[in-house]
Amino acid sequence: MDTFTIVHVIISLIGILSGLVVLCGLFTSNRMCGWTMLFLATTVATSVTGFFFPFHGVTPGIILGILSLMVLTPAIAGFYAFHLAGSWRWIYVVGAVVALYFNVFVLIAQLFLKVPALHALASTGTEPPFAVAQGIVLVLFILAGIKAVKRFHPVIN
């Protein structure tokens, strides 16, 4: 693995871990400003650095990177520019949860590509074990997103 790939993976893992902390904060109406900044910055960096890998044509990774930046833009605006006022609260929550889901989706895909035992179960990413794993994660994130939107009502300063 080259240095750029290692840095990209580290940034991605920091984004996922900090995103899980932020998600827990959403459940308790805690804005977790430091963790949120780390999560949003590393998640943007993950998407942006993903565009620097060699590619030929449009790939699922490119599409996911574009989608991630599309949901992160209003989420960041909602948190920093509009201070979670009005509908910006749920726009931020949905954007943050979807961006975290995208990162976890890619993590699972990479695990099935790189971990021999998982790769043996689903070498092309179209087999049932891969679909089941991604389906379970999708359902968990939908439920977490609903819970976060319902519970995240921080005091606005």
The domain segmentation of the chain, as residue ranges, is 3-151
C-alpha to C-alpha distances, 86 to 10, 79, 144, 153, 156, nearest whole angstrom: 35, 11, 21, 10, 10
Question: Is the pLDDT assigned to residue 48 strictly greater than 80?
Answer: yes
**Per-residue confidence band for 157, with pLDDT thresholds at 50, 70 and 90:** low
Q: Which residue has the higher pLDDT, 155 or 27?
A: 27
Q: Is 122 left (phi over 0), alpha (psi -120 to 50) or beta?
A: beta
- pLDDT tens-digit map of 81-138: 999 999 999 999 999 999 999 999 999 999 999 999 999 999 888 999 999 999 999 9
Note the pLDDT of residue 148: 98
Structure token pair of residue 151: 């519970």
